[in-house]
Amino acid sequence: MSVGTGSEGHRLKQMRLLALRALEANAMFLFFAAIYIALAFIVSFFWETRFSLGVYNLMWIGGAVFVFLIAYLANKRRDRLLESIPFLTPGEDRRGRLLLWRRLAVAAPVFIVLPLFVSAFTSLKASIGTINPYALDHVFMEVDRFLHGGVSAWRLLHPVFGYPIVTATISLLYEAWFPIMAFTVLAVTLWAERPALRNQFLIAFILTWAVLGTFAALILSAGGPCFYGLLFPYRDNPYAPLMTYLQQADEIYRVRALDMQDLLWEQFEAGDLRPGGGISATPSMHVAISTLLMLLAWRVSRWLGIAATAFLILTMVATVHLGWHYAIDGYISLAAVPAIWAFAGRVAEFNLRGVRIARSYTPAIPAVTDVRMRDGRRDSDRAGIRFPPG
């Protein structure tokens, strides 16, 4: 056998080992994503609703390329400029070798499956009104009043936030939710140094969308305050004064939330299936994902935790002040996400134990190193993911 052939065989063997290692590292994430996609297809088939796995593909690929480019440039510089960002740290081992290709290997399964998962979610969300017609808005309106002393939550916020420039600013911050979420997911996917925390976040991410954004949303089918008058034209609309104020504020400073609400209603009436489409108020996914980001941030650093907590509070205010949600929508998310986070942590540890067991039977496939003690507890977060030497 020639030297070239032997070298090619070695590279192919490394590629196979990397692929297997990546599947092991993301096993439980892939398991839950596959179950959700299959169930979404079955539900769409029986209810004869639109279903597509390509809604988010181009958008997600663009985001992935952007993050990969940042990671590449950070590793190429090797000047410690971006050392404070864990998943972009250059010069990651003693010899200063680049580990970007290893990151891409462990991230590849997530980048392939996640847009399919989000597309399946959007297909179901856009069909909520068909599967279970919106009927609980009046109930949530009454619950809101009961919880807030007989008045709607938006009226309590209005004296503080009911100024056009404040409303327009809050609307912009509300829009920042999507890019912050997308960048965090893409970045954490590349974060190989803390496999337990990485897996916990990714598993909690898809479970939050599945459990709250799909299962709970189907059961608690509601459109939200901004669509109350459109969904129930035969009822008195208690949110008409709020929507009138928002329209008046939009004449002074652009309130972009109104444009999104109009677009969502047009898509709902036309039955279109587009990124970000679908109407569902309960539970609030903006609050749910912001809560998840806060839980992650506090595990990373104190300052990130403080910033994420402030962002969560602003998101909660925005959902009510802009007419997107009833306050109870956010309260449900605040209560449910920590439970999902804790469950995802147990699943992530189970995933890592499985990798260690596989290593004991197959020594040629390196796995996650074992744990160390921190605050009296076992912690595998900083163990890192080891790959075959190259």
Residue 368 pLDDT greater than 50, yes or no: no
Q: 67: helix, coil or strand?
A: helix
In angstroms, how far is CA 138 from the centroid of its own chain?
Answer: 29
Residues 322 and 61: their CA atoms lie apart, in Å, by 31
Among 241, 246, 226, 256, smallest CA distance to 164 is for 246
User: Are the CB atoms for 122 and 108 separated by under 8 Å?
Assistant: no
Q: 377: helix, coil or strand?
A: strand
Tens digit of each residue's pLDDT (9 = 90 or more) over 158-199: 999 999 999 999 999 999 999 899 889 988 988 877 889 999
Please report the pLDDT score of residue 373 as a whole number. Answer: 37
Tens digit of each residue's pLDDT (9 = 90 or more) over 252-279: 999 999 999 999 998 888 877 787 788 9
Of residues 107 and 18, the one with the higher pLDDT is: 107
Residues 288 and 315: their CA atoms lie apart, in Å, by 10
The first and second tokens of residue 237, run together, are: 């609309």
Among 244, 250, 238, 241, smallest CA distance to 326 is for 238
| 164-175 vs 240-252: helix crossing angle, rounded to 10 | 90
Of residues 152 and 357, the one with the higher pLDDT is: 152
What does pLDDT average to over the chain?
82
Q: Please, what's the b/e burial string for 189-228 (b: 16 or more CB within 10 A of its CB; e: otherwise)?
A: bbbbbbbbbbbbbbbbbbbbbbbbbbebbbebbbbbbbbb
Please report the pLDDT score of residue 383 as a whole number. Answer: 43
Least confident of 72-86, 214-228, 275-289, 336-350: 72-86
pTM of this structure: 0.84
Compute the C-alpha angle 32/34/36, nearest 5°. 70
Helices (H), the chain: 3-25, 27-47, 57-77, 100-125, 128-131, 137-147, 153-161, 164-175, 177-189, 195-210, 217-219, 228-231, 240-252, 256-270, 285-300, 302-321, 327-361
Please report the pLDDT score of residue 16 as a whole number. Answer: 80
Among 106, 114, 124, smallest CA distance to 34 is for 114
Residues of the chain with pLDDT > 90, as a percent, come to 56
Residues 186 and 114: their CA atoms lie apart, in Å, by 10
Q: How confident is the model at residue 317 (pLDDT cuts 50, 70, 90)?
A: very high
Point out which residues pair with 374 in neighbouring strands. Answer: 377
What values do phi and psi take at 374, rounded to 5? -150, 125
Q: CB under 8 Å to 188, separation ≥6 — which residues?
A: 87, 198, 201, 202, 296
User: Are the CB atoms for 194 and 382 separated by under 8 Å?
Assistant: yes
Q: 56: helix, coil or strand?
A: coil
